[in-house]
Amino acid sequence: MSSLQNSETSLAPVRVGIVGIGTVGGGTLKLLTENAAEIERRLGRALQITRLGARRDPKGIDISGYAVERDPMAVARATDVDILVETIGGTTVARELVLLALQHGKHVVTANKALIAEHGEELLAAAAEQKVSLVFEASVAGGIPIIRALREGLAANSIDWLAGIINGTSNYILSAMQQESKAFAPTLKEAQDLGYAEADPTFDVEGIDAAHKLCILASCAFGVPLDFQALSIEGISNITLEDIQYADELGYTIKHLGIAKRTDAGIDLRVHPTLVPKANLLASVNGVMNSVLVQGNAVGPTFYTGAGAGSLPTASSVVGDIIEVARGFGETERNSTPSLGFTELKPQALCSAEESTSSFYLRMTLTDEIGALAGITSTLAEFGISVEAMLQKEPRMADGEALATLIVLTHEVSKGAVDKALAKIKDMAVVRSDVTVMRMEQFQS
C-alpha cells in the first residue's frame, strides 16, 4: 500500500482504487504519485492509493508497492476505497465493475466513453440511488476539460451549438492525407505503424468513437438523455484525396466533426466529414490533437484545444475528476449530486436526418455536352436547393467519351431535399458517376 498522505494535513486522506493499469490507469498512477504534493496542496488533503486492480502485472509499470487485486470486483467491494477509477475499457466487465462499485457506495471516475454513451443512463441512475458521483471528464477529448467547461464555465449560457474534432486518429489521417497528398489506405497504414490507429481501426475511422463522445457532449450541453442510437454517424473511410484537393481549391479543409446543434426541428446530432472554411479555427487543428468549438448564447464562440489521448493527458482529466469528487467529501449536499451537475437529462425533440440542415458539397462526373450542367442546376432548383458555387474541371476522355467533374456547393438546405434531388440526378443520362455528398459548415456566430 502506498500512502501519499502528508502527515501535516489534518483531514484524513481520500482513498482511491484504480482498476486497469494500462495506458490511462498507468498514467493515473504516475500522476497521483509524482504530483502528490501539488494535489494535496490544492485539495487540502491527501489522495491515497489503497488498491489496484490488475489481472496480471502490467508491462513497464511497477505496481510492487501496492495492494493488488487480481479480481477487479474485489476493488469495488473493498472497504478501504472511497473512489474507484475504472480504466479497463469496454462495456461488459467495466459496466459490471462500475455498477458494483456504485452499489457499494463508492464514487466512480471513468475514462470510458463507450460505457457512458451506451450505459450512462443506467449507471447515473445507480449513482443517484446511492447518492454518489459518477464522473467522466476523460471520456471526451482526453486531456481537454471540455465537460467541466460546459458544466461550470458555460453554465450561464444556453448552448446554441458545438462542433468538435474528437477523434485523434481520424484527424491524424485527414491531416496527413492533405499535407502529404496521400490516399486513405496508405495513410491509415502509416497511422497504424506509428501507433495512432488500432490494428482494427473501425471504431475510429467509421466514426463510432467520435459518436460516443458527441453523445456525452450533447447530454452535457443540452441535457438530452444519453442515447447513442439517436446519432447519425459517418466515418472517413470513403474520403478520397480528390475530394480533399477540390475542397482545398474551394477554400475548405475536410475535418471529421461531431456536431450538436439546437434547431427549430429539435437537437441535431451528427458525426461526419465536414468541409470547414480554412479560416475557421477547427481547420488548423492537425494531427492527433482534439478541439471543440462551443457557441453559448451569452459568451459567443469559445474554443478548447489540446491532447485528445495519451497516458498523461488523459490521466490529467482522470485525476482532475478524482480531485473534484474528493473536494465534495464532507459536504452532504454536494456529495448527493450524483454526477456533479449531470442530473437534469430529459427527453427533448431530436432533429431527424431529413430535417437536418447545412450547406452541401456535391461531386459528380458528367458527360461534357451542352445542357448537362443546366440539367443539374434545374433539378437542384426543383427541390429548393440554391447553388453557392460551382467548379467544373477540364474535360477528359474515357472510353471514347468526354467527361467532366462537376463540384457544386449549395446554400443551407435540408438533407431530405438533397437526398430527393440526388435520387433524380443519379438517374439522369448525363451523370456518369455516383454523387459524392459531404456536409459543409460555416459556424458563423
Ligand X SMILES: NC(=O)c1ccc[n+]([C@@H]2O[C@H](COP(=O)([O-])OP(=O)(O)OC[C@H]3O[C@@H](n4cnc5c(N)ncnc54)[C@H](OP(=O)(O)O)[C@@H]3O)[C@@H](O)[C@H]2O)c1
Contact residues for ligand X, defined by CB under 6 A = 20-25, 55-56, 58, 72, 87-89, 93, 111-113, 138, 142, 309-310, 314
CB of 134 to ligand X, least distance (A): 14
For residue 56, the minimal CB distance to ligand X (Å) is: 5
159-187 burial code (b ≥16 CB/10 A, e <16): bbbbbbbbbbbbbbbbbbbbeeebebeeb
Closer by beta carbon to ligand X, 203 or else 360: 203
Query: Which is nearer to ligand X, 135 or 309 (by Cβ)?
Result: 309
Which phi and psi (to 5°) does residue 317 adopt?
A: -75, -40
For the CB of residue 84, give the shortest distance to ligand X in the complex, in Å: 13
CA pair distance 129, 132, nearest whole angstrom = 8
CB 14 within 8 A of CB 324: no
Contacts of 232 (CB under 8 A, 6+ apart): 269, 270, 271, 272, 353, 356
| β-bridge partners, 255 | 274
Q: How many CB atoms lie within 10 A of CB 346?
A: 7
Residue 341: count other Cβ atoms within 10 Å of its Cβ: 15
In angstroms, rounded to a whole number, what is the distance separating the alpha carbons of residues 272 and 45? Answer: 44
Catalytic residue (one of 213, 255, 261, 415): 213
Residue 213 annotated among the catalytic residues of the structure? yes
Bridge pairing between strands 47-53 and 396-398: unpaired
When the beta carbons of 13 and 142 are compared against ligand X, the nearer one is 142
Catalytic residue numbers read 213
